[in-house]
A and B are shown apart, each in its own frame.
Chain A
Amino acid sequence: MLLEKAISDVKESFQEAILDVTEFSGERSIHIKCDRILDILSFFKEAGFEFLADLTAVDNLTLGGFERFAVVYHLLSHESVERVTVKAYLPEEKPTLRSVESLWKTADWQEREVYDLYGITFESHPNMTRILNPDTFDGHPLRKDYPRRGRIERSDFPLVKRGIRKEDETP
């Protein structure tokens, strides 16, 4: 229906940007190079996939793939009840791509989350700052080379003692 037509149209119009089109247990994915992301997503939005269900990222450090990082967009069409996944691959040296905040407002926070956890930056994003971790946080915790237990951030607080604190004491 909508999906087949959209995929074949995208294949035709953006031939040079498409790396692969795959299907896994009924879920279609399009793997693309990162530079045409905004055009391809606006194309899908016009084709009826007007709901951005999720925006996330993958670190392919140990998995292998076209590049180390991939930003994943899950699109949904309410009319034809079909879903499509767009994966934009980014090189490790320069993890940057265009923001899609102009298409969906929800991308604002989700892109900030991807930036916070993976260190992928988005061009022309209105407010590219950390969202979940404190601003002083060092590193990007969902990268596969970041230790699960963190570095020292979770034990780096002042100790508050029992009883009344005197004026000259600092906690």
Chain B
Amino acid sequence: MSRVTFEPLETDSMLLNFGPQHPATHGTLRIILELEGETITGSTPEIGYLHSGFEKLGEDLDYNQYITITDRMNYLSPLCNNVAYALTAEKLIGLEVSKRTEYIRVLMCELSRIADHLLNVGMLAVDLGAMTAFLYGFRVREDIYDLFEAATGTRLTTSYTLVGGLIRDIPKGFDKEVLRVLEEVDEVTDDIETLLNKNKIWLDRTKEIGVISKEDVYSYGISGPMARAAGIEWDLRLKEPYSSYEDFDFDLVIALNGDVFDRYLVRMEEIRQSIKICRQALEKMPEGEVNVDPDLGFSLPSKDEVYNSIEGLIYHFLLYRQ
């Protein structure tokens, strides 16, 4: 019998094209990876596969028309984008909206944040093979979609805000529905954490993976939960409160390691803080109009006035013709 000798094999690094259409990109990202066995030694990301010319589109639209486009920029939580855009336009014009509008905007933003974080965590879990967390998350996401549908008329492309107000007030009985959904979100958040927090596979594949240091945050201009997971105490809602966020009592969530696991923990805790904010917003919801005075020329007169008085009708057309 001849002896088998093991000589070291010739190895070479390998280039692998990942994306732009791949289940784990959840969108359109292409990465050219350099591999040394199973270790990634280098990567060149390539973007632009979803470049749609949003800015160019804005050249031909007026302020209110552009709100429909803001829905489609971040399709995980379109209401946040609506609000951000409306706030910008209002700051440019110098408009002040009513307290009720601000509270409804906060409520909607926080519901969107919950939906966004649930999808985020759910998709991360799917990529690591834990389909259950995704299905749990999507169940309450559908309930949140139902809430949006009741208030705005559509599930995803909401276009809920106007410059100087909202398309319409929240419907009657909305608060009870929101409270019911929040209960469920609370439960599902606990369920997902029970599933994942002590799961060996999950821990092995998220702890100390993709670490972002504090220096990286400044160098790469990272914000949001990613920065907070790296230990940066920065939350726009607390540091530069907009839309009456100063009225609400909630905590800044940070983590210290900056790895994937910490980002997941920050998102889960932020869902809990958002639930808190939503409950406070419903409790303290002020009465009043949701749009600024039509005489200022930024919002339309009430339908009652348009259909029942000739002045109202003339004014309605005048606003549209301008």
Contact = CB atoms under 8 A, between A and B. Distances in A.
Interface of A: 25, 50-53, 78, 81, 104-106, 109, 117, 130-134, 141-142, 144, 146, 148
B47 A142 contact: no
Contacts of B220: 104-106
Contact of B48 (A53, A105, A132, A144): A132
Given A134-B48, A142-B55, 8 more contacts: A53-B221, A105-B219, A106-B220, A131-B47, A132-B47, A144-B59, A148-B53, A148-B60
B56 interface: yes
Which residue among B57, B219, B234 has the maximum number of chain A CB atoms within 10 Å of its CB? Answer: B219
A131 B51 CA distance: 10
B239 A81 contact: yes
B48 A131 contact: yes
B249 interface: no
14 contacts: A53-B221, A78-B233, A81-B240, A104-B221, A106-B219, A106-B221, A117-B55, A131-B48, A132-B48, A133-B48, A134-B48, A142-B56, A148-B53, A148-B56
A132 B51 contact: yes
Contacts of A25: 91-92, 94
Contacts of B51: 132-133
B232 interface: yes
Interface SS of A by simple majority: loop
Nearest to A144: B59
Contact of A50 (B48, B56, B218, B223): B218
A78 B234 contact: yes
A50 B59 CA distance: 32
A79 B47 CA distance: 33
A51 B224 CA distance: 13
A51 B47 contact: no
Given A131-B47, A142-B56, A51 B221 contact: yes
B239 A141 contact: no
B179 to A, nearest CB: 34
Contacts of B223: 53
Nearest to A127: B44
Contacts of A132: 47-48, 51
Contacts of A131: 47-48
